[in-house]
Amino acid sequence: MRLAVLSGKGGTGKTTVAVNLALSWAPYRKTTYIDYDVEEPNGFIFLRPQIRNSSTVFLPYPEINGACTLCGKCSEACQYHALAVVGGQVMVFPELCHGCGTCGIVCPVEAVDEVERPLGEIDEGERDGVQCLQGVLKEGESLAGPVIRGLRRREKERSSQVEEVIVADCPPGSSCSVIHSAEGSDLAILVTEPTLFGLHDLRIAVGLMREMGLDIGVIQNKDDGGSLIREYCIQEGITLLGSIPFDLEIAGIYSRGQSLTQEPKWAELFKTLGERIMTEVTQRKNRGKTA
């Protein structure tokens, strides 16, 4: 079972929900938490896993060898302006290169060699029975996509026959990064907050998930007892999976980088929420089968 946790707006509580759900499922089933917010991954701050393995994500870029005739075909074909023929040589701008390999395809004399540069890292570890993975984009690099794809590949490689829950903590926004992190999930859990900003961006996230054909459910964080999000969910026919109250104690625990499940009161809340999500996904699957 794969669950994507996302939000549209940043800072609504994606990581809080993803981490605490994972911790509350871990005693009962095989659970893996994966931080796909590679630009600003925060899950490991709360999970503090023992890191077992780190690997580097590389992106290929061209290096021009002596066979080059300066014909300029590579520079013409490159859609990212990462190559230019200047003053009797081909200049390569690695930071503009997307690593697509087009220059090598068009070169008539095999003058394009590929070298690699590090773009980010993938870390793996474990904490309290939760398998933990994260992708980390190197500061100053712009392409999150290859790190997310690398992480996705790692997720597939390590998946076994054993039934497990994968919690994918997705990036904010509504870009390709969100799509690539969320696709293929059994449920998209949209975490929102009861503000005009939260609702506005929730609408965008709902639109995106519907476009992708994913099932959705909403969790309202910082619930102030108001009806803004509840009414929207009813209107749109979206399941409100549960709410987390606005509470200064939660804000305090969060700010210190601790998990909420260490407090019995909040552990209970996430256990209930987790059971609700499991029931929801199972029911939807069964409905899908009979339909």
Partner 1 sequence: MKQMAIISGKGGTGKTTVAAAFVELADQMIVADCDVEAPNLHLVLDHKVKTETEYIGNQMARINTALCTQCSRCEEVCRYDAVTQKVQQEEGRQGGTVFPSIDAKRCEGCAACVYACPTQAIGLYPEATGKVFLSETNVGDFAHAELYLAADGSGKLVAEVRRLARDEARRQNKAVLIDGSPGIGCVVISTITGCQQVLVVTEPSQSGKHDLERVLKVTGHFRIPTQVVINKWDINTEISQEIEAVCLQSGVSIIGKIPFDPMVPKAIAMGHPITRYESPAAGALREIWAKISSELRGA
Footprint of partner 1 on this chain (CB under 8 A)?
8-12, 15, 38-40, 42, 45, 77, 79-80, 98-102, 105-106, 137, 139-145, 149, 171-177, 179, 183, 195-197, 200-201, 204, 207-208, 211-212, 251-252, 254-257
Q: How far is the CB of 235 from partner 1 (least distance, A)?
A: 19
Please, which residue, 228 or 267, has the CB nearer to partner 1?
Answer: 228
Q: How far is the CB of 239 from partner 1 (least distance, A)?
A: 21
Q: Is-contact 136 120, C-beta < 8 A?
A: yes
The structure tokens listed for 205 are 């996230």
| Strand partners for 92 | 83
Instruction: Using the Cα atoms of residue 11, residue 136, residue 30 and residue 48 in order, give the sign of their dihedral.
Output: negative
Q: How far is the CB of 104 from partner 1 (least distance, A)?
A: 9
β-pairing, 239-245 vs 83-86, is unpaired
How far apart are alpha carbons 288 and 214 in whole angstroms? Answer: 13
Angle value at C-alpha 274, between 270 and 278, nearest 5 degrees: 175
Please, which residue, 42 or 239, has the CB nearer to partner 1?
Answer: 42
How far apart are alpha carbons 237 and 23 in whole angstroms? Answer: 29
Q: How far is the CB of 224 from partner 1 (least distance, A)?
A: 8
b/e 38-55 (16+ beta carbons within 10 angstroms → b): bbebbbbebbebeeeeee
Q: How far is the CB of 283 from partner 1 (least distance, A)?
A: 27
**Residue spans of alpha helices (H) in 112-247:** 145-158, 176-182, 196-212, 228-236
Q: How far is the CB of 286 from partner 1 (least distance, A)?
A: 28
